[in-house]
Structure 1
């Protein structure tokens, strides 16, 4: 069975992102790798491309943040007028054990909040824009636990019916009402006061996908020559310990007319990328016994 196992983030400054996520949220170092050659083709890039990849883990089992900084092709920043209603993956939410420490770390990293509120549960929440990845991050005060825990990722789409077919009919995930996660007034937190939107939640298990279509303001599409190396929150990954689960998902994609652009298959490791606009999802096998090699286990703290 597939579950959400990873957020893929492309950062303009790897060290700055690692510092922010470690200091503000408590994510732990899970090691890194360099990518080039045939392996990097899975991102739709030429084999002479190069990138550094780094992993972070929190309190959840079988879940990671995967950050990239590409040096070839040179990483292109998001447009200066980018807004969190623009199309693509635009936001994610994290619950933290020590909310006040998070606020202090956001401030010490030179960042400003875009909004603060108290939720209907009486717990504090805020949001800010990560200047290096470019996406918005909602921070929620956790009721308990060690934290940090990833709560959801938000995809802004132009075709809500198409997205519903993708996640529910093709991939087989149950759908939930949008209002179970956010009320309309929550849009003020990330700088969209008065926004009108519709959508649904995708229940992948421990982490939700929030799929929204903004009626106003309308989101701008990604650039026509979009590359996986561009700055931004570029995909999420659905994974399993079992190769058969991922092969079955790839089969359903093909039957549904969503052909992965690239498949990396060694027999033991299997990964496939769908890079099409509004469908940006990786499918991967993360075998038992390879957690340390694949960035699912915490290592030594950062020297910083």
Structure 2
């Protein structure tokens, strides 16, 4: 890949999750995690099919908000997607989670116990002092009703974005980042930093018993690189597992309608230039074209879905979001 670029991801607008039942997922996210409803639309037609690479797609999209961040629950009404494999682990390359910042880990963890979660972590874990980059951070990983991976994260006063330390009476504050399992840090940095203009915010090597108990992976050792757009906000965390070694790749026949599908909406300053640059550099495209939306129900005017080097879905959308 060539590395010169003047592209910039301005911010991450939202994260989309394919779900089997939008009502069930909406109930879970609003009740268990205190998200708030924003909109509920159903879309169909060639534009959406071309965007997502699923012919004849009819999609119900329920948008929810937590703090400043948005998620979109995407239920394909006329296509049945494959479920997330039951034996999924954190080092499988389809692993992707949402990290939800909380004001009080013990209270948030207790609140979750009343809901149908599948825990990954033994219990909330505290990163030990030996790990300077993450010392004192508390985290707990679990799965939602579709088995999408989620994490509660609490930051001590000297860690995390400033907004997580503002006085709030809320228990669940917002989404700090989406973490993705990757096969090679340098390869991913070429895509996210060199091509898309995201910035490295920090990194750490997490290992020993704490990480093993957090991930339910014996002997887990993971190189973590935190990325954010220049304007801050929602970020992406790269998880490069050293022990156990890389898990299974994302199967080439998985589509946007399959339940493991998550797509990160990247607001770019020039979508045509972005698409040209990504094409020049051999990036895999899901969308057959830059799709132009004429109906007012779509929250963006144009979009183009591509895959990162490991197959995680990234939706490029233009900066001017309003019609």
Alignment equivalent of 2:35, drawn from 19, 27, 38? 27
- Per the normalisation by structure 2, the TM-score is 0.77
- Per the normalisation by structure 1, the TM-score is 0.82
Confirm or deny: 8 A CA contact 1:44 1:261 kept in the other structure: yes
Gaps of 5+ in 2: 1-7, 130-134, 155-163, 295-299
Confirm or deny: 8 A CA contact 1:20 1:106 kept in the other structure: no
Alpha-carbon distance in structure 1 between the residues aligned to 2:148 and 2:118:
14
Alpha-carbon distance in structure 2 between the residues aligned to 1:78 and 1:266:
30
Partner of 1:237: 265
Gaps of 5+ in 1: 291-304
- Are 1:6 and 2:19 an aligned pair? no
Matched positions, count: 281
Residue 72 of structure 1 aligns to a residue whose secondary structure is: coil
- Are 1:284 and 2:317 an aligned pair? yes
Confirm or deny: 8 A CA contact 1:24 1:103 kept in the other structure: no
Partner of 1:183: 206
Alpha-carbon distance in structure 1 between the residues aligned to 2:192 and 2:322:
29
Question: Residues 288 and 45 of structure 1: is their aligned pair in 2 closer, same or farther, counting only changes over 3 Å?
Answer: closer
- Are 1:174 and 2:199 an aligned pair? yes
Partner of 1:66: 72
- State the Cα RMSD in Å: 2.6
- Cα deviation 1:79-99 (Å, max 9, x = unaligned): 121112111342120113465
Confirm or deny: 8 A CA contact 1:157 1:211 kept in the other structure: yes
Alpha-carbon distance in structure 2 between the residues aligned to 1:269 and 1:112:
38
- Are 1:154 and 2:179 an aligned pair? yes
Runs of 4+ in 1 over 6 A off after TM superposition: none
Partner of 1:50: 58
Alignment equivalent of 1:94, drawn from 100, 111, 117? 100
Confirm or deny: 8 A CA contact 1:201 1:210 kept in the other structure: yes
Partner of 1:39: 47
Deviation at 1:140, TM superposition (A): 2.4
- Cα deviation 1:172-221 (Å, max 9, x = unaligned): 22224322xx7333352232242122242212221221112222322111
Partner of 1:293: none
Deviation at 1:27, TM superposition (A): 1.0
Alpha-carbon distance in structure 2 between the residues aligned to 1:253 and 1:209:
19
- Are 1:207 and 2:234 an aligned pair? yes
Residue 29 of structure 2 aligns to a residue whose secondary structure is: helix
Residue 249 of structure 2 aligns to a residue whose secondary structure is: coil
